[in-house]
């Protein structure tokens, strides 16, 4: 899986600054030097990231569907000004960098998160998780608008099936945090509020279909809840 692979790379890396990218990107000409200059200027108390422009293989997905796609499909743009990101923001896996020292200090990537063909379900969230841990030890995420890359997005990642699978994965990711503090009631290892939410969503889905309205929003909510429910049930069984 990705987290295991990144940790293996981190273990043998010898450079001061580790830059993460992908094999289907188109970096700007000065991409590496932009990161290095930012690192030298801002010491070791920062991690860095830049914008990602999606380069679609075919037509851009319908906007109603695209808004529910992961950032790896939508792209990322935090504007034209260099600034520190807040705790609700994160850089994309294909375009960010951090000192080797800081990455090792937080223990690397969580192997329980991230894409892994050995698992029966899609899991994500390893980048956001490690960035949150970097923030916790006092590092700041510095957005570098000039460190831009293009990212090729194949047609299959623009389809309903892929986008909803990622919504389900996001639900799993949120459930891991949700269960750390949730003290409400359960029925069949599922929080009671989920049953109410499912009923509301199915009623809305039926209403939208009858009136021929767009159903992407409802489907996105249902897949998200599906992911949350599965992960919460797994957590409860392990306890």
Per-residue model confidence (pLDDT) at position 27 = 97
- Rounded CA-CA distance 16/36 in Å is 10
3-class SS of residue 127: helix
Q: Which residue has the tokens 């599922």?
A: 190
pLDDT value of position 156: 95
Mean pLDDT, each 10-residue run in order, the chain (239 residues): 86 94 95 97 88 96 92 95 93 95 91 67 77 93 98 96 91 80 82 83 79 80 89 80
Q: Which two tokens stand for residue 52?
A: 């990602």
- Written as one string, the DSSP assignment of 6-21 is HHHHHHH--SSEEEE-
Distance separating alpha carbons of residues 172 and 123, to the nearest angstrom: 7
Q: Which CATH number fits domain 2-154: 2.40.50.100, 3.40.50.300, 2.40.10.10, 3.90.550.10?
A: 3.90.550.10
Closest CA to 35 of 79, 114, 78, 97: 97
CB-neighbour burial class of residue 211 (10 A; exposed 0-12, middle 13-18, buried 19+): exposed
Instruction: Say what the pLDDT of residue 161 is.
Output: 95
Query: 43 — alpha (psi -120 to 50), left (phi > 0) or beta?
Result: left
């Amino acid at each position: 899986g990705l987290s295991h692979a990144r940790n293996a790379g981190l273990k043998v890396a010898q450079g001061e600054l580790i830059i993460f990218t992908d094999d289907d990107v188109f970096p700007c000409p000065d991409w590496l030097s932009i990161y290095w200059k930012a690192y030298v200027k801002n010491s070791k108390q920062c991690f860095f990231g830049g914008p990602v422009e999606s380069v679609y293989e075919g037509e851009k997905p319908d906007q109603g569907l695209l808004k529910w796609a992961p950032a790896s499909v939508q792209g990322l743009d935090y504007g034209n000004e260099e600034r520190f990101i807040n705790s609700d923001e994160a850089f994309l896996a294909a375009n960010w960098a951090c000192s080797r020292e800081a990455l090792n200090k937080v223990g690397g990537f969580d192997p329980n998160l991230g894409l892994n063909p050995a698992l029966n379900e899609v899991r994500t969230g390893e980048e956001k998780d490690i960035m949150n841990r970097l923030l916790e030890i006092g590092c700041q995420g510095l957005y570098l608008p000039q460190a831009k890359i293009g990212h090729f997005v194949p047609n299959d990642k623009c389809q309903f099936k892929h986008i909803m699978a990622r919504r389900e994965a996001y639900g799993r990711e949120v459930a891991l945090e949700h269960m750390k503090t949730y003290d409400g009631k359960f029925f069949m290892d599922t929080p009671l509020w989920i049953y109410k939410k499912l009923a509301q969503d199915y009623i809305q889905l039926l209403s939208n279909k009858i009136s021929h309205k767009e159903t992407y929003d409802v489907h996105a909510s249902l897949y998200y809840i599906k992911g949350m429910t599965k992960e919460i049930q797994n957590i409860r069984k392990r306890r």
